[in-house]
Amino acid sequence: MTYAIFAIGFLAQAFFSGRILLQWILSERAKKVVSPTIYWVLSIMGSYLLFLYGWLRDDFAIILGQIISYYIYIWNLREKGVWQKVNLLFRVILCITPACAVAYALRDPSSFIETFFRNDDVPLWQVLFGSAGQIIFTLRFIYQWQYSYKRHESLLPLGFWVISLIGSAMIVSYGLFRLDPVLILGQSTGFLAYTRNIFIYRKERKNALKKSEP
């Protein structure tokens, strides 16, 4: 059973790693930071699996990190015109699964607290630290959503990558505390891509300033 749970987690991280690698490659080709549709497709697939992984691991920090970003992925897919093309039943299932799982967990608040916050395998300070990392990591998508919403376009702005670096560093640390290979490997692969996107953005801005000079 443990191997099956880890397999789900690694598969989720494979989708996340794949999205960032593809986004990076496409940005290098375009010589600017892009927000490709495939990034959001792989995001929703990875998030769905990682949500399931966190549930099976009784890890509230992982679950917390997926709730908000999950629905932001859907918003970006709508902006890309992809979500509307998905089968209605499949869309309903994707939308209600996280909400139903959370509602099920909260049906007995005392049991929920006992399971997630008083887990003998995860000290409370680690849960708080891991949750803080997940919250910061999730903030990047809230920032991305606000930035894109104002411009009526799915974009990946500079602040998104800066927040990604900070949140990712905290999650890797949490993964080391928990000896969780899924979190360690999954987050470590993003460091280079996050840094490279920041570099591309700065280079793009410098070029834009040079062109605007008389």
pLDDT at 37: 94
Over range 146-161, report the average pLDDT.
92
The residues, any chain, with a CB within 8 Å of residue 143's CB and separated by 6 or more, are 157, 159, 160, 163
The residues, any chain, with a CB within 8 Å of residue 91's CB and separated by 6 or more, are 83
Mean pLDDT score of the chain: 82
Select from 130, 114, 128 the least CA-distant residue to 168. Answer: 130
SS3 84: helix
Q: Is the pLDDT of residue 103 over 80?
A: no
**Helix, strand, coil abundance in the chain, percent, nearest 5:** 85, 0, 15
Instruction: Determine if the pTM surpasses 0.85.
Output: no
**155-178 confidence digits (pLDDT tens):** 999 999 999 988 888 888 877 777
Q: Is the pLDDT of residue 39 over 90?
A: yes
Q: Are 167 and 139 in contact (CB under 8 A)?
A: yes
How far apart CA 6 and CA 158 sit, in angstroms, is: 33
Query: Which residue type does 210 have?
Result: K
155 DSSP 8-state letter: -
pLDDT at 142: 92
